[in-house]
Amino acid sequence: MGKDKNPRRVADNEAMAKLRMLKTSPQKLNLVAGLIRGKKVEKALTDLTFSKKRIAIDVKKCLQSAIANAENNHGLDVDELVVAEAYVGKNLVMKRGRPRARGRFGRIHKPFAELTITVRQVEETA
């Protein structure tokens, strides 16, 4: 009499990981996500390890989570995984401010972003 199992949001040969509330702007995060789109996972991990961007550390954690989900939850082969999608979304924006000259108020926006990484297993053609 329990509830039915939820259908999968991704295909049978895919796995997904999502990171929310990343303290960076979506524009900056998208630059790092663009580095790994379409690459094999070991090459993407290497690129993120040696990237000079601060947010690359969090993107690497999300990619490692997607790889672990693929291996443990869906039984996919890690050596054949490719980063199928890496897309960025907006999250909340904290509004802060500073007093400025002549009684004015300078608005400061502190944006947050979210990242979704999907890895797909592709069979290598020899």
pLDDT tens-digit readout, 5-56: 888 888 999 999 999 999 999 999 999 999 999 999 999 999 999 999 999 9
Give Cα separations from 59 to 14, 41, 44, 83, 101 (angstroms).
18, 12, 10, 12, 40
Round to whole Å and give the CA distance between 35 and 32.
5
Full-model pTM: 0.90
Round to whole Å and give the CA distance between 41 and 85.
12
DSSP 28: H
Residue with tokens 């550390």: 57
pLDDT tens-digit readout, 60-118: 999 999 999 999 999 999 999 999 999 999 999 999 999 999 999 999 999 999 999 99
Q: Check whether 125 has a pLDDT greater than 80.
A: no
